[in-house]
Amino acid sequence: MADKQDYYEILGVSRTASPEEIKKAFKKMAMKYHPDRNPGDKDAEEKFKRVNEANEVLSDPEKRQIYDQYGEDGLKGGFAAGAEGADFSDIFKNAGFSGGGFSNLGDMFENIFGGGGGRRRARNMPQQGTDLAHKITISFKESYTGLSKEISFDRASTCQFCNGSGAEKGSSRKTCPTCKGSGQIRSGNGFFSISQTCPTCRGEGTVIEKPCTHCRGTGFLKETKKVEVKVPAGIADGMQIRIAGEGNSGLNGGPRGDVYVDVRVKDDELFVREGNDIFVEVPITYSQAALGDKIEVPTMDGPVDMTLPAGTQPSTKMRLKDKGFPDVHGRGKGVLYVIFKLEVPRNLSDAHKEAISKLKEFEKEIKERPTLKDYLDKIKKWFGK
């Protein structure tokens, strides 16, 4: 690649390419020319630097606009408005790659296994591993009783062949040729300059001379882990369970991250949960509502008998204390609310119709009908009578 090769040509995209297209092209080219994949290839190393340089400019809307207008000279400050020899908008920006791409295979490994964000290694400093997320689905009854459930997930573990160094046995690390071991590169003209984390070594100051053939220089290997999760009684849909120390391995001997298990609870056909309370509808007949009866109602622990008082109105709600869900934190139990729904029969027999007709005659003699009286009063008020 010549020094003045167009950045769009370097990434293989058109000048109207979207940010997503630029990001995708950068990842592809960075993988192709990465030094870890082309050991000792000076041409690939130079191309990799130019790919990073092109991405840094084209993934930043402001830099891209300047480049489109003035080319590389404009980025050096020669055409920047309001200052001579410096682009002030860059001075106050965080150093690093604005495109969010992977500058080494380690970053790609973290992305595959669910690590949070790109990593920057602090030289020789232990860093905790990234957290993982996992989801389980349980039944309504299991959320009431609690259970122990085995889960399986993939995580990053320290490579046992290189002990996490990323270097093949017998090889060593060498001073980074880009930053000369400082871990930082400086750029700018005149009085102003900015410091950035070195894109080649990611701030370590050294690079792997010969990458480990097992982990490809990342220092990590994929591992499938099985863990027994204790789901507490009373857990609700959307709650999380934290499993400490079972996430991805840390850097430089740092501790593992955690695993957060997202719990999803299936709906039930009979019961409905609101907080720690449970609601259930029980159908009753007219005679049961009028005369009262002993009704068997379902609970999460089995059926219980309830006394239905005479004159029970439709949709009457009665409560059973301590028959709801146990509080997940151990603070007692909720209430079970039983809603009695009046069921009107269909397809009546002639005898049944005759009996109801007689009942209709008796109903005309009923003088106390408070619900009807309240309804009629509202009608009169509405029409102003």
Give, to the nearest 10 degrees, the angle between helix 61-70 and helix 42-58.
Answer: 100
Nearest Cα neighbor of 233 from 305, 330, 375 is 330
Q: Which residues of 41-77 are buried (b: 16+ CB within 10 A; e: fewer)?
A: eeebbebbbbbbebbbbbbbeebbebbeeeeeebbbb
C-alpha–C-alpha distance, residues 191 and 88, integer Å = 12
Place of tokens 């790609």: 108
Burial 15-38 (b: 16+ CB within 10 A, else e): eebeeeebbebbbebbbebbbbbe
Residue 274 confidence (pLDDT): 95
Cβ distance 36 to 76 under 8 Å? no
- Looking at residue 102, its pLDDT comes to 37
- Mean pLDDT check: name the lowest of 87-101, 235-249, 344-358: 87-101
> Distance between CA atoms of 362 and 352, rounded to whole angstroms?
16
Match 């934290």 to its residue by tokens: 242
HSE-up of residue 135 (Cα within 13 Å, Cβ side): 5
For 261, other C-beta atoms within 10 Å of its C-beta total: 20
Determine the pLDDT at residue 84.
Answer: 33
Confidence of residue 82 (pLDDT cuts 50, 70, 90): very low
For residue 3, pLDDT over 80 is answered with no
Condensed to tens digits (0 to 9), the pLDDT of residues 164-223 reads 888 898 887 888 998 888 888 877 655 566 778 888 887 888 888 899 999 988 889 999
pLDDT of residue 366: 79
Dihedral (Cα; 234, 236, 239, 245), 10-degree rounding: 30
- The pLDDT of 48-74, averaged and rounded, is 81
β-bridge pairing 277-284 and 336-342: parallel
**Phi/psi of residue 176, each to 5°?**
-60, 125
Segment holding 289, helix H or strand E: helix 286-291
The per-residue pLDDT for range 287-308, each reduced to its tens digit, is 999 999 999 999 999 999 999 9
| Run of H or E including 320 | strand 316-320
The phi and psi torsions of 132 (rounded to 5 degrees) equal -120, 155
CA gap 332, 257 in Å, rounded: 33
Round the average pLDDT of the chain to a whole number and report it.
Answer: 82
The first and second tokens of residue 47, run together, are 């191309």
Model confidence over 225-281: pLDDT tens digits? 999 999 999 999 999 999 999 999 998 889 999 999 999 999 999 999 999 999 999
Query: Cα–Cα distance between 70 and 23 in angstroms, integer?
Result: 22
- pLDDT greater than 90 at residue 99: no
End-to-end CA distance of the chain: 93
Alpha carbon distance 19, 332 (integer Å) = 54
Residues 6+ apart with CB under 8 A from 88: 80, 82, 192
pLDDT at 88 over 50: no
What average pLDDT does range 302-327 have in this prediction? 95
DSSP code per residue over 101-156: --SSHHHHHHHHTT-SS---PPTT--BPPPPEEEEEEE-HHHHHH-EEEEEEEEEE
Tokens of 13: 């995209």
Cβ neighbours of residue 273 under 8 Å, at least 6 residues apart?
A: 140, 236, 279, 325
Instruction: Please identify which residue in the block is written with the tokens 């039983």.
Output: 338
Of 94, 78, 74, 76, which Cα lies nearest the Cα of 188? 76
Per-residue model confidence as pLDDT tens digits over 117-172: 333 445 568 889 999 999 999 999 999 999 999 999 999 999 999 888 888 988 87
Indicate if the pLDDT at residue 340 is higher than 50. yes
If one counts every other C-beta atom within 10 angstroms of the C-beta of residue 263, the result is: 21
Please name which of 353, 337, 335 lies closest in space to residue 345, comparing C-alpha atoms: 353
Mean pLDDT, rounded, for 103-114: 42
